[in-house]
Structure 1
Amino acid sequence: MSEPGGACVATSELDAGIRVERSAEDPTAFAAELGEGWQIGAGVNGGMLLAVVGNALRHACAADGHPDPLAISAYYLSASRPGPARVRTEVLRAGRTMSTAQASLVQEDPDGRPVERLRVLATYGDLDALPDDVRTSAMPPQMPPPEQCLGTDLAPPDFLERASLLERLDLRLDPSCVGWAVGQPSGRGLLQGWLRMADGREPDPLMLLLAVDALPPVTFDLGMLGWTPTLELSVHLRARPAPGWLAVTHRTRNFAGGLLEEDAEVWDSAGRLVAQSRQLARAPRPT
């Protein structure tokens, strides 16, 4: 698990993947190593990148008593690649209950020039200090239990070959949402399933940043297979998740002009809505 104010001590694949180390020369800068095991296609998964930056911001805001992301928005400027990266953070305002901060993730290109991959603006606080009052009309997804759902081995073979991320996850998809795997997408624009880490790591707020972008692209259910790059992703965290499976839904209601929104909800094993997100993504280009 990670310790605010210093480097993380890796106890799982996810902890190792999001590990950051504060620079001795510049306390606002953190070194990271983007691993090959978190790729979708040639690039590193967008949710994983957000978790790396979210971890750096956690360190930056922890001194003010605000260790948890409450709202975090990211713009993806260029495709990240496995290898060294640097996260520069800036706390813009530290209040009594919340801090506002920004960060950017930078890698060097083959010529050694810095290229910004991701820019983030976030509000951090303490999820344990939030009021217990809940008033919602949101309902958890209705789907079979994990043992009756389908593993991602049913995804198209060429997709699996380029999706090492799925090897890190235990993802069980609702059978009603996997017609695309046999060439029969429903056209509803809905994917949902159960999620946990393959090595048994329990969910926490940083894992939720990965979870909102962990399912296959919802465009699969529209009959469009291929890479769906994220342009912008905003996540709201509502509670610290209980141990166990996460129930995750991804849906889209509007595909137009080659762009679509993808709304996600993450529910924990206690039946609480613990995270919500919306992203704007570019649909796969026709082949």
Structure 2
Amino acid sequence: MSEAVTTQAAGATIGDSEFDRDTAVTQRAPGVYDTELSAGWTIGNAVNGGYLLAVLGRALGHALPHPDPFTISAHYLTASRPGPAVVRTQVARTGRTLSTGQASLFQYDEDGREVERIRVLATYGDLDALPDDVRTAAKPPTIPPMEQCFGPQDGPAPATGSSAIADRLMLKLDPATLGWALGSPSGKGEMRSWFGLADGRDHDPLSLLLAVDALPPTAFELGVQGWVPTVELTVHVRCRPAPGPLRVSITTRNFAGGFLEEDAEVWDSADRLVAQSRQLARVRLG
């Protein structure tokens, strides 16, 4: 287990937290769910992609017979905005240990026409039924103790690009990946941070969908500033996280043609790899 882990103060609980309220869905008809996208999870004017994935993930958890996302892939078609939305789900297959379904999130444009924002395909299972056998070459990221790391609230002024979502998160970034904030990006496509929810809620599979897409873009450490919208994001949830803060490590190896990939690993307080993801993102220079 990593040294000098600072545990989050006791606060909200799973099922009774801001994150749970803001990702809630209400069934209107079979396979159809109403939701309200909260402005509290925006970056600038854009709703965070990980938060949106958690909303769709929650709807699929209601629609499918298995409780937990094992793999979920999303294509972001149009930009979502805070306000009412509807999620439509469809069951593709159900089996004894796995079930697969798809979901789309829709909003209305200014002319009252329905616009699809995101389309998801996912396979669900039961994380608690998985065997304990683990054979891995993966190792947790090396991050300084939390008290030696820095978050948005530690600067003398609001960080560039900070938005409402920063108030909902506990982020403590590794100083080695903070050169961009000081005007001296390292040139390495790396971002590492301690991660939690600001109200102290522990993590579950749905909050892991948020964690993989909540850090500043690796493009910043490449010396590229601008909006980095997600085109496609795939998340693999490997096990249910232990209580306590997570460690998130994101790397980019290739930025070309205005696009980059981000590979994320999420580790829990018991030094277990609990989630992995890859996304393709577009860099729109500011």
Partner of 2:222: 222
Partner of 1:173: 173
1:181 maps to amino acid:
A
CA displacement at 1:158 relative to structure 2: 4.2
1:203 maps to amino acid:
H
CA displacement at 1:284 relative to structure 2: 2.7
How many residues align? The count is 271
Partner of 1:112: 112
Q: State the alpha-carbon separation in 2 of the partners of residues 126 and 277 from structure 1.
A: 19
Question: Higher RCO, 1 or 2 (CA under 8 Å, sep at least 6)?
Answer: 2
Asked if 1 retains the 8 angstrom alpha-carbon contact of 2:252 and 2:263, the reply is: yes
Asked if 1 retains the 8 angstrom alpha-carbon contact of 2:173 and 2:192, the reply is: yes
Gaps of 5+ in 2: 1-13
Q: How does 1:94-243 map to 2 (within 5 A)?
A: 94-153=94-153, 154=155, 157-160=159-162, 163-243=163-243
Partner of 2:73: 73
1:101 maps to amino acid:
G
CA displacement at 1:10 relative to structure 2: 5.8
Cα deviations across residues 73-131 of structure 1 (Å, max 9, x unaligned)?
A: 00000000000000000111000000000000000011110000000000000000111
Q: 1:74 to 1:122 in 2, by over 3 A?
A: same
CA displacement at 1:219 relative to structure 2: 0.5
Asked if 2 retains the 8 angstrom alpha-carbon contact of 1:91 and 1:102, the reply is: yes
Partner of 1:256: 256
Q: How does 1:40-55 map to 2 (within 5 A)?
A: 40-55=43-58
SS in 2 for 1:210: helix
Cα deviations across residues 47-67 of structure 1 (Å, max 9, x unaligned)?
A: 000000000000111xx2x10
TM-score of the two chains, using structure 1 as the length reference: 0.92
2:44 maps to amino acid:
G
Q: State the alpha-carbon separation in 1 of the partners of residues 77 and 152 from structure 2.
A: 29
Q: State the alpha-carbon separation in 2 of the partners of residues 199 and 105 from structure 1.
A: 27
CA displacement at 1:42 relative to structure 2: 1.0
1:22 maps to amino acid:
Q
CA displacement at 1:40 relative to structure 2: 1.0
Asked if 2 retains the 8 angstrom alpha-carbon contact of 1:10 and 1:19, the reply is: no
Partner of 2:4: none
Partner of 1:13: 18
TM-score of the two chains, using structure 2 as the length reference: 0.92
Asked if 1 retains the 8 angstrom alpha-carbon contact of 2:152 and 2:159, the reply is: no
Cα deviations across residues 137-173 of structure 1 (Å, max 9, x unaligned)?
A: 110000111121111234864412xx21111001000
2:57 maps to amino acid:
G
Q: CA RMSD in A?
A: 1.3
2:161 maps to amino acid:
F
Partner of 2:30: 27
Moved over 3 A (4+): 153-158
Partner of 2:90: 90
Gaps of 5+ in 1: 1-8
SS in 1 for 2:231: strand
Asked if 2 retains the 8 angstrom alpha-carbon contact of 1:156 and 1:181, the reply is: no
Asked if 1 retains the 8 angstrom alpha-carbon contact of 2:195 and 2:248, the reply is: yes
Q: State the alpha-carbon separation in 1 of the partners of residues 258 and 18 from structure 2.
A: 35
Q: State the alpha-carbon separation in 2 of the partners of residues 130 and 115 from structure 1.
A: 38
- Quote the sequence identity (%): 63
